[in-house]
């Protein structure tokens, strides 16, 4: 295990009705908030109205910026940053899923930055400050409510990039699992695949971390049990609650502290989203089993075997390679059972950009579990077509 500093300071208000704490969460940081939201789900299900009612009652002024796109665009970030500068906004309050929270994060950083907000996406070190962020989460998936990352797209240049800074980690997050009961089956399934991928990206690392790996296996089993339950029974509170909390812990740094390595599948998926604007979790569900098959070799087989035995109840007495292959098959079968696609062609991806997408993701493979070349990534894409 490598050295690390543990500090995950987001205050979490978890459970039914915790929205009542929203003013308590916002007030230490200011008296004027910008509420950021997406395509309108939060207006339909009443969460927006409840938040504004509480803020008004507590004397906190608010403005709103809606229309954040799934795979949020830099244009919306720029608009929000200008809004904050002109309107003397003190706190940014996203209500939504990862797209809304990510967009709000770079709005918050852009508000205190003199140049173009895209600079902050290209280089997280340029984020030297940000307005405080208090997030209200409505979809279990990205973990953005408790992490330091934001992923923003510039569709004009086909770039979807992640940036990171401790300054954009939310100060507080309201996590009421009942809010996620209106998330449809597609986004529930994609969110589950995204959470599982975040765990797997840290799990399949060349650095040792016995304790982190056992925690990871527990979180994976949680996703496996409750992802399917939430898809089949959208109003199953326990399923929603377990998924929501697992989503935060999958990526809030806890699993990777002491065994930090660059991720493998996410860089590939971000290229798919950048060129074809697909749902992130669906792209991960397609690529993950193909990536696993590709990196399975005599060096990695024992790790895959452990994954199979501890997560998928693969019989421990199977020969290692057979156990590893069964683990990968069970991973792929699970994504299918969630109703997710298993082929790139199913989400409208053709051969046109495979080369360029492979080249761009290969540039981010240094130090990954198994470093892949452009040609190997191209092969994975082709196998996934
Ligand atoms: O926009 P609205 O109308 O709110 O509808 C959204 C959207 O259409 C809907 N939704 C959200 N909550 C709902 C709901 N519908 C009904 N009831 C509710 N309670 O769900 C749709 C998808 O929302 P989105 O925010 O796009 O989904 P998700 O949370 O999966 O976020 C995906 C984005 O996050 C990035 C992804 O790349 C993608 O851009 N990621 C961010 C990460 C991070 N910050 O650490 C890490 C991830 O790996 C990921 O890359
Ligand atoms: Zn992800």
| Interval 141-168: pLDDT, tens | 999 999 999 999 999 999 999 999 999 9
| Interval 70-81: pLDDT, tens | 999 999 999 999
Distance between Cα 100 and ligand 1 center (Å): 7
Pairwise pLDDT comparison (134 vs 261), residue with the higher score: 134
The reported pLDDT for the residue numbered 261 is 86
Q: Are residues 306 and 275 in the same domain?
A: yes
| Interval 230-243: pLDDT, tens | 999 999 999 999 99
Is there a domain that residue 371 lies in?
yes
**Alpha helix segments (H runs only) across 233-259:** 237-249
Q: Are residues 60 and 153 in the same domain?
A: yes
Q: CATH number of the domain that 195 lies in?
A: 1.20.1090.10
Q: Is the CB of 97 within 6 Å of ligand 1?
A: yes
Q: Are residues 197 and 241 in the same domain?
A: yes
Residue nearest to atom 26 of ligand 1 (CA): 70
> Domain end: 125, 152, 179, which one?
179
Q: Average pLDDT, whole number, for the chain? A: 97
Tokens representing 379 are 């092969």
- Ligand number nearest CA of 285 is 2
Residue nearest to atom 33 of ligand 1 (CA): 99
Distance between Cα 299 and ligand 1 center (Å): 36
Tokens representing 201 are 């990206």
The reported pLDDT for the residue numbered 137 is 98
> Domain end: 164, 179, 194, which one?
179
Q: Are residues 294 and 360 in the same domain?
A: yes
Residues 6+ apart with CB under 8 A from 320: 301, 302, 305
Q: Are residues 233 and 87 in the same domain?
A: no
Is there a domain that residue 273 lies in?
yes
Residue nearest to atom 31 of ligand 1 (CA): 98
Q: Is the pLDDT of residue 260 over 90?
A: no
At 32, give phi and psi (nearest 5°): -140, 120
Distance between Cα 120 and ligand 1 center (Å): 21
| Residues, the chain | 385
- Closest-lying ligand 1 atom to the alpha carbon of residue 39: 3
Q: Are residues 170 and 194 in the same domain?
A: no
Q: Are residues 36 and 147 in the same domain?
A: yes
Whether the CB-CB separation of 130 and 29 falls below 8 Å is answered with no
Range of the domain at 81: 11-179
The reported pLDDT for the residue numbered 177 is 98
Is there a domain that residue 346 lies in?
yes
- CB count in 10 Å sphere of residue 84: 22
User: To test ligand 1's pocket by mutation, which of 37, 39, 40, 41 has the most ligand atoms within 8 angstroms of CB?
Assistant: 41
Number of domains in the chain: 2
Is there a domain that residue 6 lies in?
no
Q: Are residues 173 and 241 in the same domain?
A: no
| Interval 194-241: pLDDT, tens | 999 999 999 999 999 999 999 999 999 999 999 999 999 999 999 999
Q: Are residues 196 and 331 in the same domain?
A: yes
């Amino acid at each position: 295990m490598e050295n690390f500093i543990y500090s995950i300071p987001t205050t979490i208000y978890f459970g039914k009705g915790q929205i009542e704490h929203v003013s308590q969460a916002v007030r230490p940081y200011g008296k004027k908030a910008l509420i950021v939201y997406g395509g309108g789900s939060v207006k339909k299900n009443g969460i927006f109205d409840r938040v504004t009612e509480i803020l008004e009652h507590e004397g906190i002024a608010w403005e709103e910026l809606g229309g954040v796109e799934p795979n949020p665009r830099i244009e919306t970030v720029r608009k929000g940053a200008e809004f904050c500068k002109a309107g003397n906004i003190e706190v940014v309050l996203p209500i939504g899923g990862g797209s809304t929270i990510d967009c709000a994060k770079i709005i918050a950083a852009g508000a205190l930055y003199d140049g173009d907000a895209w600079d902050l996406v290209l280089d997280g070190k340029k984020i030297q400050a940000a307005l405080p962020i208090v997030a209200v989460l409505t979809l279990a998936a990205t973990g953005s409510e408790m992490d330091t990352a934001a992923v923003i797209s510039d569709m004009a240049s086909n770039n979807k990039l992640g940036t990171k800074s401790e300054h954009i980690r939310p100060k507080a997050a309201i996590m009421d699992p009942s809010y996620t009961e209106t998330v449809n089956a597609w986004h529930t399934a994609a969110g589950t695949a995204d959470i599982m991928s975040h765990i797997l990206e840290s799990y399949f690392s060349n650095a040792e971390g016995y304790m982190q790996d056992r925690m990871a296996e527990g979180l994976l089993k949680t996703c496996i049990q409750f992802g399917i339950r939430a898809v089949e029974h959208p109003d199953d509170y326990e399923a929603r609650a377990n998924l929501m909390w697992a989503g935060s812990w999958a990526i809030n740094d806890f699993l990777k502290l002491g065994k930090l390595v660059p991720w493998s599948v996410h860089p590939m998926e971000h290229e798919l989203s950048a060129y074809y604007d697909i749902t992130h979790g669906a792209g991960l569900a397609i690529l993950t089993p193909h990536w696993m098959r590709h990196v399975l070799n005599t060096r990695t087989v024992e790790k895959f075997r452990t994954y199979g035995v501890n997560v998928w109840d693969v019989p421990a007495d199977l020969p290692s390679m057979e156990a590893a292959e069964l683990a990968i098959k069970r991973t792929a079968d699970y994504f299918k059972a969630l109703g997710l696609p298993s082929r790139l062609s199913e989400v409208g991806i053709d051969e046109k950009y495979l080369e360029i997408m492979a080249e761009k993701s290969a540039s981010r493979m240094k130090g990954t579990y198994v470093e892949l070349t452009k040609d190997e990534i191209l092969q994975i894409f082709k196998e996934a077509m």
